[in-house]
Amino acid sequence: MGHGRCVTYCIGIRHLRMSTTGTNWFKYSSPQAFHPLAGRLIPWFAAAALGLSGIGLYMGFFVAPTDATQGDAYRIIFVHVPAAWMSMFLYVIMAVWAGIGLGLNARPSFMMAQAIAPTGALFTFLALLTGSMWGKPTWGAWWVWDARLTSELILLFQYIGIILLRSSIDDLRRADRASAVLALVGVINVPIIYFSVRWWNTLHQGASVSITAAPSMAGTMVTAMLVMTLAFWMYSFAVTLARMRCVIVERERQPSWGKPAAIPDVAEAR
Amino acid sequence: MQWGSLAEFVAMGGYGLYVWISFGATALCMGGEVFVVWRRSAAAASRNEL
Amino acid sequence: MSQPSLSEALRGVVRRDLLLAMRRRSDVAMSVFFVVIVASLFPLGVGPEQAVLRMIASGVLWVTALLACLLSLGRLFTADYLDGVLEQTLLIPQPLAVLVVGKMFSHWVISGLPVVLLSPLLGLQFGLSGDSLWVLTLSLLLGTPTLSMIGAIGAALTLGLRGSGLLVALLVLPLFIPVLIFGAGAVTSSVAGIGSEANLSLLGACFMLSLAFAPWATAVALRIALE
């Protein structure tokens, strides 16, 4: 009874969407339709990523002035901060897809989460590496247990945990749902970790000082940083969509969740 | 332009090593990721040709 | 036949686990001896200087308790899973989350409580005294059940997987870290002479938070693992 009403409601929404916008967006929620759509979008995101990084790097190296206290070493923030922001942003997005997948029992949502994880882990690693590179000339040590770097380290562990859990489970459905649960539990942990590590830092005075850019950053510095962040974001879109396409094709090989091969190119190729 | 010469640009006020390792590693990792995904997509497509 | 009440089901789960543990008393003994041995390794590695030991005591003892919990997580669901009892438990009409609380409680009694009871002695080994010993015991009393609850989520997610021992550690250690920070922080601040109330209250908050969410998350994970 409830299911019937839900189906009618959903179909009603689809009709509404078709009448207002002329396109039915719901059809892209199936892997076979998503595959070509993603294929068409990727070049645009890639171009945007390259263009924006060009602008960002130009601004970062040739427009932004040398910092008074940190010299030219501060320019590392033009990759460090965007990488750190993307690592956290992607984790949250991944958790959102995981939650949607669990809530709606939707396979494509799980696939999206699966596609995001490696890119997020990469950005976390880069944030740590560049943070270390920044810390050495600024604070004299390769690694400082600063609240933000330590939180990034733990975030990396969480990403790796999700990826490893998925690869340890053979059954696709269980793998999808287990890594989704882990992602959701982890996303709750992220603010708790950040708070507790900052607490821990204040408790142990003199352990380190925070690697924050000087509070008064020149306008050009901020702009360059934001442009680079946007560039990384476009890059993430491109790579994640490309990986999603791989996941879709790979899954078509194993009719899991009881579905036969449905993508036209794949079916044709067979 | 604030750099007197290419040498100054590369040196980055003495911090050249750190700056270029950071940017280099970033470019390398992101390029590497693109390459890995490209290979994966080629492998997935070819396996489906069979 | 009337349906057993919620508390009866809970008591039944706890009674069964404790009974089984009593028959294999080695499980309890293993936790105890592990903690004792590992805690003794640190002075052997670091040197017997009292000042140094007092400084590292909180971290060492807390990490040891954490590892003891981690190593015993394999026993939480595996035995029941292997002999089919876990599947039956999923079919019981009582809410799974409540039954899971029972399992977490008995897990804590078997592997966490001995550590809590032993902690004053270990604290003495590390040169802690008076107030700090009390804070150590209290922090472990609040912390070890929290660790059991959070660890259960990992145990449920990795149920039946090969190599699950290491995988559980990797999944669960990031979740353990806040508890470690507040627990060890309580003892550290007590040793330093600053009050430990702040850390202990945060530890209590972690306990409450995990009591509210961990059983439910574990129940979801169990259902996923057993479908």
Q: Which residue range is the domain that position C82 belongs to? A: 6-226
One-letter amino acid at A122 equals L
Q: Which residue range is the domain that position A196 belongs to? A: 47-255
One-letter amino acid at C25 equals R
Question: Would you call C167 and A177 a contact, using CB atoms and an 8 Å cutoff?
Answer: no
The C-alpha of C75 sits at a distance from chain A's nearest C-alpha, in angstroms, of: 19
Number of cross-chain residue pairs from A and C with Cβ atoms under 8 Å apart: 72
Residue B44 lies inside a defined structural domain of this protein: yes
Please give the tally of structural domains in chain A.
1
Q: What are the φ and ψ backbone dihedral angles of A71, each rounded to 5 degrees?
A: 65, -145
Residue C153 lies inside a defined structural domain of this protein: yes
Residue A181 lies inside a defined structural domain of this protein: yes
Share of chain C above pLDDT 70, in %: 99
Q: What is the ipTM of this complex?
A: 0.91
Question: Would you call A158 and C174 a contact, using CB atoms and an 8 Å cutoff?
Answer: yes
3-state secondary structure chain A: CHHHHHHHHHHHHHHHHHHHHCCCHHHHHCHHHHHHHHHHHHHHHHHHHHHHHHHHHHHHHHHCCCECCCEHHHHHHHHHHHHHHHHHHHHHHHHHHHHHHHHHCCHHHHHHHHHHHHHHHHHHHHHHHHHHHHHHHHHCCCCCCCHHHHHHHHHHHHHHHHHHHHHHCCCHHHHHHHHHHHHHHHHHHHHHHHHHHHHHHHHCCCCCCCCCCCCCCCHHHHHHHHHHHHHHHHHHHHHHHHHHHHHHHHHHHCCHHHCCCCCHHHHHHC
Write the residue in A161, A177, A185 that is nearest to C170 by C-beta.
A161
Residue B1 lies inside a defined structural domain of this protein: no
Residue B31 lies inside a defined structural domain of this protein: yes
Residue C34 lies inside a defined structural domain of this protein: yes
Write the residue in A80, A136, A239 that is nearest to B34 by C-beta.
A239
Residue C150 lies inside a defined structural domain of this protein: yes
Please give the tally of structural domains in chain C.
1
Q: How far is CA C6 from CA A189, C14, C19, C222, in A?
A: 30, 12, 20, 19
Please give the tally of structural domains in chain B.
1
Residue B40 lies inside a defined structural domain of this protein: yes
Residues A60-104: pLDDT tens digits?
Answer: 888 888 877 778 888 899 999 999 999 999 999 999 999 999 999
One-letter amino acid at C41 equals L
Of residues A43, A267, A250, A112, the one with CA closest to residue B43: A250
Q: How far apart are CA A20 and CA A100, in angstroms?
A: 25
A94 touches chain C (CB under 8 A): no
Token code pair at residue A169: 């489970």
Chain A residues in contact with C167 (beta carbon < 8 A): 164-165, 168
Residue C144 lies inside a defined structural domain of this protein: yes
Chain C residues in contact with A178 (beta carbon < 8 A): 157, 221, 224-225
- Whether C106 and C17 have beta carbons less than 8 Å apart is answered as yes
Beta carbons within 8 Å of C125's beta carbon, 6+ residues apart: C39, C40, C43
Residue A4 lies inside a defined structural domain of this protein: no
Mutate to test the interface with B, among A85, A119, A132, A133 (most CBs of B within 10 A): A133
Of residues A27, A34, A33, A31, the one with CA closest to residue A10: A27
- Whether C197 and C190 have beta carbons less than 8 Å apart is answered as no
Q: Which residue, chain included where needed, has tokens 């999808």?
A: A176
Residues C63-111: pLDDT tens digits?
Answer: 999 999 999 998 899 989 998 989 998 988 889 999 999 999 999 999 9
Q: How far apart are CA A136 and CA A141, in angstroms?
A: 5
Whether the pLDDT of residue A260 is over 60: the answer is no
For residue A249, the chain B residue with the least C-alpha distance is B44
Residue A212 lies inside a defined structural domain of this protein: yes
Beta carbons within 8 Å of A173's beta carbon, 6+ residues apart: A256, A257, C227
Average pLDDT over residues A6-10: 48
Mutate to test the interface with A, among B30, B34, B36 (most CBs of A within 10 A): B30
Residue A3 lies inside a defined structural domain of this protein: no
Q: Which residue range is the domain that position B38 belongs to? A: 6-49
For residue C221, the chain A residue with the least C-alpha distance is A178
List the beta bridge partners of residue A67. Answer: A71
- Whether A91 and A158 have beta carbons less than 8 Å apart is answered as yes
Which pTM value belongs to this model? 0.87
Highest mean pLDDT among A68-72, C5-9, C174-178: C174-178
Residues A185-194: pLDDT tens digits?
Answer: 999 998 998 8
pLDDT of residue A22: 52
Of A1-5, A75-79, A104-108, minimum mean pLDDT range: A1-5
A1 touches chain C (CB under 8 A): no
Residue A230 lies inside a defined structural domain of this protein: yes
A163 touches chain C (CB under 8 A): no
pLDDT bracket for residue A3 (50, 70, 90): low
Question: Would you call B19 and A72 a contact, using CB atoms and an 8 Å cutoff?
Answer: yes
Whether the pLDDT of residue A267 is over 60: the answer is no
The C-alpha of A151 sits at a distance from chain C's nearest C-alpha, in angstroms, of: 10
pLDDT of residue A228: 96
Question: Would you call C202 and A203 a contact, using CB atoms and an 8 Å cutoff?
Answer: no
Q: What is the DSSP string of C58-102?
A: HHHHHHHHHHHHHHHTHHHHHHHHHTTHHHHHHHSSS-HHHHHHH
